[in-house]
Structure 1
Amino acid sequence: MPSVDRRPLVLAVHGTRSRVGTETSKQLAAAVAERLGVETHLGWVDIHTPTLTDTLRRLGEAIVVPVFLTSGYHVTSDIPAAIAAAGSRAIATPLIGADVLPAVVDRLAEVDDFDAVVLAGAGSLRDRALAEVRAVTNELSRAVDRPALAGFVTAASPTVPEAVAALRAAGHARVAVAAYLLAPGRFSDELQLAGADAVSRPVGVHHLLVDLIEQRWRSAIAESLVVSRPKAVND
């Protein structure tokens, strides 16, 4: 197999002060490494070290998969800046984003039945990121055939408790919260206080998330091979 196919994979992830959340990210990297059989690393964008920049400087050429759900500042600014600071030898794939919705629905299926659901996103100061969560909320509503509202843990409104209250005011007796989060931590803990009847787990090390990371990596490899293939010379 060509050596380009063995370039290391770096999962760009948001750090957390939660021990369980940090361990979840490490378990995800291990699951991806086992699936692909390639060197796999975590590149922390916040809180932890080694930072994404440090990891990329050490590795050189690499493929970076942004394991994020929305196009917030970390995805649009921090990750490109880290790649540039490390010498621009790595390439970044599209973020995971809304493609993870089937895993969110899978987690929601683990809770008791409900009449309506709040999709709980982390929140952002960027309108684009909030719009992405609202779009996914519409998809979630269709997927579960229940009314759904978006709610945010921080930095935006409505908050998750406000969204739960709005659904109750609309006459829905049992309201669930679907955690639109990748790993346990402070945000997922706060969802337990939102006043819902049930709260789903974050995505965690779900096989569908591993599938998505594999797809991003394989697409990047394929595109690199096309770009690097010499053009045919006509005599």
Structure 2
Amino acid sequence: MTSELILVAHGTRNQLGLNTITEIASAVADHVGPVRTAFVDVLGPNPREVLADSTAPAIVVPAFLASGYHVNTDLPARVAESGHPSVTITPALGPDPVLAEIMHTRLLEVGWSPGDAVVMAAAGSSDPAARRELVEAASLLADRVGEVHLGFVATGAPTVADLVGRIRSRGRRVFIASYLLAPGVFHTKLAGCGAQAATEPLGAHPELVALLARRFTARIGITIH
């Protein structure tokens, strides 16, 4: 029986953000076949609703960059509520060297040069495991660009703006590497942080699309019956 493939994102009212998620899902479908999209917050359909009308085995890939509350608690709860007989939830996308390489490419696009400081801007999380994953993601980026500081846009300290201000006060050039999936409220804030430039979100980069496709085909994760 063919598996149901479901991509789960956070959700946003930002139209550019929604367009980006649609673009990502469409590009992944070119690799693996039809992909449905669900959201855990802000708008629907949520995973429970998407799973409710299917009895085929389902593979759910969370398009999140760390395993915080939405991945570890919210998503499994919605899947369980659906009553679906067989759902595999794969790991979140990050940390992964692929994402670090995309950020490196994005930094080069906005004028970063070796020797410039980098602030990796993550949404943040109160979950200790997710915070450790973000630290690892920053370390993977540092392997490619040198000096990287981890800052947060929504939850946690230090904030991106505080880090940028501190580094610039020493007369340094600093660039923001956006560790965000799509445009939205969080990414918009980066423009006002005072850096030389901020990169675009990871978006529908071909390597990110390929990473998502591998999540679907590997079928590795937790299975909920």
Query: Does TM, normalized by the shorter one, top 0.5?
Result: yes
Matches within 5 A, 1:220-235: 220=219
* Aligned pairs, number: 217
> Among the aligned pairs, what percent are the same residue?
38
**Residue 172 of structure 1: how far off its partner (Å):** 5.1
Counterpart code for 2:193: A
- The corresponding residue for 2:207 is 208
Contact 2:94 2:137 in 1 (8 A): no
Runs of at least 4 residues of structure 1 off by over 6 A?
none
Please give the alpha-carbon distance, in whole angstroms, between the structure 1 residues aligned to 2:145 and 2:47.
Answer: 37
Counterpart code for 1:178: A
Matches within 5 A, 1:29-108: 29-36=25-32, 38-60=33-55, 61-88=57-84, 89-99=86-96, 100-108=99-107
Residue aligned with 1:154, SS? coil
Stretches of structure 2 that go unaligned for 5 or more consecutive residues are none
133-142 or 46-55, larger mean C-alpha shift: 133-142
TM-score in terms of structure 1 length = 0.87
- The corresponding residue for 1:185 is 184
Residues 133-153 of structure 1 deviation map (CA, whole Å, 9 limit, x = unaligned):
1221122122113x1100000
Residue aligned with 1:98, SS? coil
Counterpart code for 2:51: L
Please give the alpha-carbon distance, in whole angstroms, between the structure 2 residues aligned to 1:209 and 1:118.
Answer: 21
* Cα pair distance change 1:131/1:167, threshold 3 Å: farther
Query: In terms of Rg, which structure is larger?
Result: 1
User: Which of structures 1 and 2 has the larger relative contact order (alpha carbons within 8 angstroms, sep 6+)?
Assistant: 2
**Residue 101 of structure 1: how far off its partner (Å):** 2.0
**Residue 217 of structure 1: how far off its partner (Å):** 1.1
**Residue 113 of structure 1: how far off its partner (Å):** 2.4
1:122 aligns with 2:119: no
Please give the alpha-carbon distance, in whole angstroms, between the structure 2 residues aligned to 1:129 and 1:165.
Answer: 25
- The corresponding residue for 2:193 is 194
Counterpart code for 2:43: H
- The corresponding residue for 2:16 is 20
TM-score in terms of structure 2 length = 0.91
- Taking only aligned residues, the RMSD between alpha carbons, in angstroms, comes to 1.9
